[in-house]
């Protein structure tokens, strides 16, 4: 639950950013007025062809409070206009940043071995950290070793990697780098980074105006004024950029140390990220990025993307310091490397890991021991996630990486066991304009029927990147078919709600702007009715014994800090009201969310048995609340 503490810290940093921004723009207003008065006064002095006390008086006579107000208003309008323009540019989320850097999306069904390796690493890390699987973008022309996470929220986040990163790092090192980027998503750093980009663009825009004025050719009489004004604006913009670099440096450096530590926690392998940093230290190109857009986004990268003023305001700590934080006994030796193909080596390593996972599962089966794949996937480390994913047939994984195949999988999971409803659902799909969709679902059905129910939502998460590759029209048809299949029996059960909530929450931002949940509840008591209903439905679904139900409910409200609530009668637990109550919880301030989620977690763990539906409900509730999936197996 450290996620929420870091979210609050990120919110405080955002508050300081606003304060510093206001101070910076106020300074720009004063400087702009000073230079405007200087330009007008100097012009009058020059026109008199002498410098005297009259010239000094002429200069000071140009200042007036009315012009000061007009100039200040104009500066604020320019800055805020530039910020709004930049914000609209970034409304599409992280993919806009990736594309501006020259990146292209790696499609989930890519046949390139290097691309497949990074996709697999991102999938494993997403499941280990309790986050949706994000799209991956490749900066194909960048040979420096670097990566980034960009987006406003986990639902529109993307991971970007350079060509040098996927060619020079082995699988363990890639895991360390990607885990570092996932920690930025979890800790709220990613959203703060996006705000930094928009705010600093407003200040830097003034410097851009100055450069334009410096190039303007005017008449002889006005040229000097334009030159002076342009130089002044350029100087103001330069000072604003310098001030912004100071802010970025101060905010970013310590966050990198935190992200490195989180990467070790996710992977349980400090050697991976330490070796990645050692490779960077021994590589001539280092982490440098050459895209023209690198300046305004340099702080979002894994390593230092560019250097200004001799590294005085670097946004990242030195590589040596980062390694020493992870391995205090490091001997100072870097790993020397060069561009080479590692596909065969890593492919063999993947095959070995897969064989080991299958051997473990087979050995347990022979000994009469059942390994719950859901428990493996919820343990929050790479090794257990890899073993849990081995329980999903390769053919289903392959379909999950294809847009049409992923569509068929999600629809196939909704097929009813009731023959009448099943035939009704098939009738809906026979009317689909997508050729071969129903035949593909029928082909997948035997393996889907054998698949553990616990793996349904992990399969959904694996399908997310492929579903994000649908066109707008295809996605609209997909959602329509989902709703038709869900409503075929004229009721919505909890699994259908869980499936639809996760799909809608993580896919809608890809296909249009979605209204975010702006916090409005500061006190837990304001959400007592909604929390009571959600917790009541959860404990009724997971427990049969009346005493266990009461104990689970009391443990849940105790963990949330609500001690005087009584469980809602089961016949009053309407599913439609439950759905509305979950959405209401999403409007809580970040400091309330860990208490509520911990209450749900403690309630389902009360009897020592965590059912599949309990897992699905907790995951979906967390998704609607814009939170990572809590660990249930600690």
Tokens describing residue 111: 């046949």
Q: How far apart are CA 230 and CA 238, in angstroms?
A: 12
Torsion of CA 341, 347, 350, 351, to 10 degrees: -160
Do 241 and 249 meet the contact criterion of CB atoms below 8 Å apart?
no
Q: How far apart are CA 21 and CA 497, in angstroms?
A: 43
**Number of C-beta neighbours around residue 532 at 10 A:** 20
- In SS3 terms, 292-355 reads as CCHHHHHHHECCCCCCCHHHCCCCCCCHHHHHHHHCCCCCCCCCCCCCCCCHHHHHHHHHHHHH
- Could you tell me the sign of the dihedral formed by the alpha carbons of 119, 122, 124, 130, in that order? negative
Q: How far apart are CA 5 and CA 413, in angstroms?
A: 37
Q: For residue 258, what are the contacts with CB-CB under 8 A and spacing of at least 6?
A: 6, 183, 187
Tokens describing residue 541: 């679904």
Angle between helices 220-267 and 171-186 (to 10 degrees): 110
Rg (Cα) of the chain, in Å, rounded?
A: 28
Do 441 and 411 meet the contact criterion of CB atoms below 8 Å apart?
yes
Ranges of beta strands (E only) in 2-84 are none
Query: Which residue is it, tokens 């800790």?
Result: 187
Nearest CA-CA partner of 514 in 586, 589, 456: 586
Nearest CA-CA partner of 296 in 14, 80, 83: 83
Enumerate the active-site residues: 181
Distances (CA, A) of 464 to 192, 382, 393: 25, 19, 18
Residue 588, beta-bridge partner list: 521
Question: How buried is 67 (Cβ within 10 angstroms: 0-12 exposed, 13-18 middle, 19+ buried)?
Answer: middle
């Amino acid at each position: 639950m450290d996620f929420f503490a870091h979210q609050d810290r990120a919110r405080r940093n955002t508050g300081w950013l606003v304060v510093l921004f206001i101070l910076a723009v106020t300074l720009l207003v004063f400087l702009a007025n000073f230079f405007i008065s200087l330009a007008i006064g100097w012009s009058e002095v020059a026109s008199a062809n002498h410098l005297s006390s009259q010239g000094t008086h002429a200069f000071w006579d140009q200042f007036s409070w009315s012009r000061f107000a007009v100039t200040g208003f104009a500066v604020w309008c320019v800055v805020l206009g530039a910020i709004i323009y930049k914000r609209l540019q970034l409304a599409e989320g992280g993919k806009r940043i990736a594309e501006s850097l020259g990146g292209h999306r790696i499609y989930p069904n890519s046949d390139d071995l290097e691309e497949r390796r990074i996709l697999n690493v991102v999938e494993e890390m997403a499941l280990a950290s309790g986050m949706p699987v994000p799209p991956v973008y490749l900066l194909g022309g960048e040979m420096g070793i670097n990566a980034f996470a960009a987006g406003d929220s986990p639902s529109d986040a993307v991971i970007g990697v350079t060509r040098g990163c996927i060619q020079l790092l082995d699988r363990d090192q890639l895991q360390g780098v990607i885990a570092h980027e996932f920690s930025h998503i979890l800790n709220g750093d990613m959203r703060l980074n996006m705000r930094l980009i928009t705010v600093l663009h407003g200040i830097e825009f003034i410097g851009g105006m100055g450069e334009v004025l410096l190039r303007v050719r005017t008449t002889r009489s006005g040229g000097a004024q334009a030159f002076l004004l342009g130089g002044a604006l350029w100087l103001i913009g330069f000072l604003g950029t310098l001030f912004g670099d100071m802010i970025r440096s101060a905010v970013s450096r310590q966050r990198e140390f935190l992200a490195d530590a989180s990467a070790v926690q996710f992977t349980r392998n400090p050697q991976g990220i330490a070796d990645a940093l050692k490779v960077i230290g021994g590589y001539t190109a280092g982490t440098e990025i050459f895209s023209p857009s690198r300046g305004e986004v340099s702080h979002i990268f894994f390593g230092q993307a560019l250097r200004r003023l001799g590294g005085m305001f670097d946004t990242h700590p030195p590589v040596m310091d980062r390694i020493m934080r992870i391995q205090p006994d490091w001997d100072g030796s870097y790993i020397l490397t060069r561009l080479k193909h590692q596909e065969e080596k890593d492919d063999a390593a993947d095959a070995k890991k897969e064989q080991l996972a299958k051997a473990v599962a087979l050995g347990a089966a022979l000994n009469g021991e059942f390994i719950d794949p859901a428990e493996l996937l919820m343990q929050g480390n790479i090794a257990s996630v890899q073993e849990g994913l081995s329980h999903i047939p390769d053919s289903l994984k392959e379909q999950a990486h294809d847009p049409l195949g992923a569509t068929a999988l999600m629809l196939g999971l909704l097929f009813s066991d009731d023959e009448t409803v099943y035939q009704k659902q098939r009738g809906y799909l026979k009317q689909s304009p997508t050729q071969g969709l129903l035949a593909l679902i029928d082909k997948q059905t035997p393996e889907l029927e054998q698949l553990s129910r616990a793996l349904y939502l992990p399969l959904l998460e694996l399908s997310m990147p492929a579903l994000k590759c649908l066109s707008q029209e295809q996605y609209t048809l997909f959602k329509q078919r989902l709703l038709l299949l869900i409503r075929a029996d004229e009721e919505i059960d909890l699994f259908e709600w869980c499936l639809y909530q996760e799909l809608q929450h993580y896919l809608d931002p890809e296909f249009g702007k979605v209204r975010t949940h702006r916090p409005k509840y500061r006190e837990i008591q304001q959400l007592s009715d909604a929390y009571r209903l959600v917790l009541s439905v959860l404990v009724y679904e997971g427990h049969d014994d009346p005493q266990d139900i009461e104990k689970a409910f009391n443990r849940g409200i105790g963990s949330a800090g609500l001690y005087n609530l009584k469980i809602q009668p089961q016949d009053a637990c309407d599913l439609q009201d439950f759905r509305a109550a979950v959405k209401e919880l999403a409007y809580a301030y970040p400091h309330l969310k860990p208490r509520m989620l911990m209450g749900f977690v403690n309630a389902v763990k009360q009897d020592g048995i965590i059912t599949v539906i309990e897992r699905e409900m907790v995951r979906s509730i967390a998704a609607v609340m814009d939170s990572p999936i809590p660990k249930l197996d600690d």
